Amino acid sequence: MPATQPAVTAGSPARLTLGSATFWWENPPGQPAYQLIRVGLGPAGVPSQVALPDLPTPADETNLSGPQIAPTSSDSVARPVDSGVDQAPLAVQVLDADSKPLPVTDPSYQRIYYRDASGNLVTNLFLTGADPAGFIGVSPYAGAYPNDGSVTKGRSAVAGTYHYVSTTSTTYQEITGYVGGALNGGVPAPSQQIEVQASAIAPVASATSASKGISLAGCADFTGSSLCRLFPISAGQPALFLDTAGGVQIGILTAAQVTTSVASLPLQQSAGMTEHVLASAPLTVSDTAATLTDTSAFRPGDLVDTSLVTHGVLVPVVNIPASG
């Protein structure tokens, strides 16, 4: 599941590069060990083949008392939005045998993995045949939506000291982190239980005109109101979104712009006026609003359509006056 920020490089053709990702696997008891795993982007993606024996194994460590992993929220519950790419941060420490935190450079941090309340491994992959609305994953990488206030508070996590949990389910879940090969001859050392309670959002457009700014309302966010934090789309920095309503649909929105609304068609041409044509123009995206700063491409009374992304949710916005 590509939760980290993708990038687009201009060219002919343009090139899409996904961010870093981590997945886990385990061999079924009593069965032959997996040798190859194929990973693809979406149902139509060409799968890449990963040779598991070629992957380096982190150095083992036995002088541990275990990991300490907890949500950073005030109520100690991880609360992402259920978009599958929105993330709730978990503070992570690995303690040595004297219960002192190890530095993040210690290889033990690379051995941390997670299981759900039933003991199932959290693989970070959408599995073939599984319900896409039941996905949960934990990544060591802050993605496009780390949901920790870093965009508005100017705060960045120290590498290795945070993990990030995502899910597509609003069902209450519990997961536990482990450090593999840590105690008692290789018995994994567990963390405390980690509570996960995701929420669903249904953002709606809030705007009198595109020139005065289009906002999305309906989020409990870092903005100090119910307005949703918009993804700052720019050249080379597309907005990642995910929809599991009809399977797993992963997409990117590469530009923030308005276009002549379908509701304005057919365009009316008045005698003596310049030609009334279909038009598009870029939006300037701030933390909570997308604004049409140059309305010259549109006539008074034109309606415009656009799409915005918040917390990994794609929100169509239609029939907004271009100016006014």
pLDDT tens per residue across span 172-221: 999 999 987 644 455 677 899 999 999 999 999 999 999 999 999 998 87
* Residue 309 contacts residue 231 (beta carbons within 8 Å): yes
Answer whether residue 150 shows pLDDT above 50: no
pLDDT tens, position by position, 80-93: 999 999 999 999 99
Q: What distance in Å separates the CA atoms of residue 136 and residue 113, rounded to the nearest whole number?
A: 13
Q: Distance between the two ends of the chain, CA-based, in angstroms?
A: 42
Token pair in block for residue 98: 């004297």
- Predicted confidence band at 300 (pLDDT cuts at 50, 70, 90)? confident
Chain position carrying tokens 């993708």: 6
CB 301 within 8 A of CB 321: yes
Strand-strand pairing, 204-206 and 215-217: antiparallel
Amino acid of residue 57: T
**pLDDT (tens digit per residue) in 217-239:** 998 876 667 899 999 998 889 99
User: Is residue 139 over pLDDT 60?
Assistant: yes
Query: What's the rounded mean pLDDT across residues 105-128?
Result: 89
Helix, strand or coil, per DSSP, at residue 316: strand
> How much is the mean pLDDT over the chain?
86
d(CA 47, CA 316): 30
Segment 25-84, tens digit of pLDDT: 888 888 888 899 887 766 677 888 989 889 887 776 667 888 999 998 888 999 999 999
Of 321, 258, 256, nearest to 285 by C-alpha is 256
pLDDT > 80? residue 121:
yes
| Cβ–Cβ < 8 Å for 52, 36 | yes
CA atoms lying within 13 Å on the CB side of residue 36: 4
User: Which residues are CB-neighbours of 102 under 8 A, at least 6 positions away?
Assistant: 64, 93, 94, 95, 96, 108, 109
Model-level pTM? 0.86
Domain map (residue ranges) of the chain: 57-196, 204-321
Token pair for 117: 């309340």
Q: What is the mean pLDDT of residues 256-275?
A: 90
Task: Assess whether pLDDT exceeds 80 at residue 113.
Answer: yes
Give the domain 57-196 fold.
Answer: Immunoglobulin-like (2.60.40)
Lowest mean pLDDT among 2-6, 9-13, 283-287: 2-6
| Span 132-151, average pLDDT | 82
- Which residue shows structure tokens 């907005």? 239
